[in-house]
Amino acid sequence: MAIADLVLTSPDIPNGSRIDDRFAGEVGSETPRMVVTGVPTDAVELAIICHDPDAPLPHGFTHWTLYGLPAIDGEVIEDVGRPGLNDDDSFGYVGPFPPYGHGTHHYFFWVYALSRQVVGEPSRDEFLRDYADAVVEQARIVATYSR
């Protein structure tokens, strides 16, 4: 699997930065903008997942799953995609909301270029289990948040 060409950036959350409060769960969970470049020509769909492995749960906490995105370079348009289930038992983006005093959490925003379409709205765990073989390329940015 190639990992050098696909790139994920965000004008709202630069890689390595602290997530601004407006994108946090306490303030309103505004969905951050994401931009994808270097999409492989053999990709048929893109997926976005945001996951916090530092959450005090056995598998961390998934904040966002978005499937059905066109396999093209450019800004990710949330309304074009199909939201999957997050760990808040809702659909769509839910902002960071770590427990007070739990320290700095890391938020991994992943983009996956896929060789086949995702069916339905799988959870992160279901997606990773059922579509690992379809990942052509992947990229990520990592940001932090604490309360």
pLDDT 10s digits, 60-88: 999 999 999 999 999 999 889 999 999 99
Answer whether residue 60 is part of any domain.
Answer: yes
Q: Which two tokens stand for residue 90?
A: 């809702």
Domain count, the chain: 1
Does 119 score more than 90 pLDDT?
A: yes
Answer whether residue 79 is part of any domain.
Answer: yes
Q: Which tens digit of pLDDT belongs to each residue from 38-55?
A: 999 999 999 999 999 999
How confident is the model at residue 2, as a pLDDT?
A: 59
Does 96 score more than 80 pLDDT?
A: yes
Residue partners of 123: CB distance under 8 A and separation at least 6: 62, 65, 84, 85, 86, 87
Does 1 score more than 60 pLDDT?
A: no
Which domain does 25 fall in, by range? 7-145
Answer whether residue 124 is part of any domain.
Answer: yes
Answer whether residue 2 is part of any domain.
Answer: no
The answer to whether the pTM exceeds 0.75 is yes
Pairing of strands 105-114, 135-145: antiparallel
Q: Look up the CATH number of the domain holding residue 17.
A: 3.90.280.10
Answer whether residue 1 is part of any domain.
Answer: no
